[in-house]
Amino acid sequence: MVRLLIVCLGNICRSPIAHGVLRERIAARGLDSRVSVDSCGTSSYHNGEQADPNTRRVAARRGVDIEWHRSRQLLDSDFYEFEVLIAMDGSNEADIRDRLPPNSDVVIRRYMEFVPGAPGPDMPDPYYGGASGFERVQDFVEAGADPLIDWALTLAADGSS
């Protein structure tokens, strides 16, 4: 089993939609016993809150249910309970690396590495970008979901991460 943790700042915009899309794609492909996914934020700003209303609206329009989601902060135990942490941008990646325990062998990657033709390494933060920003993030998340799952399966196949 390869366990993925999607990480953004507050766990209310980018990471919940990636969590929801990946969860549904993993289930649709019958891979629940081989890949799992969760999400969190590097901050505690929104702990216990649902995803941003714009995120939920865009997800629902595209048939992705994320009403179950509640924000949580990155925990020290996450560095041992997950094989892969997927950062949404460079700032989140830096925060993850700053907290990385020396004895953790977790793999850290960025989501946009898996998006074909990505315009850059960072998933844009839609929080201040209006409705179109949320649509754009959903597009990127959907485009990268299957490539990310396929990559995770290679880790599961060779027993490493």
Catalytically annotated residues? 8, 14, 125
Question: Rounded to 5, what percent of the chain is helix, strand, coil?
Answer: 45, 15, 40
Contacts of 138 (CB under 8 A, 6+ apart): 17, 21, 58, 59, 62
Radius of gyration of the chain (CA): 14
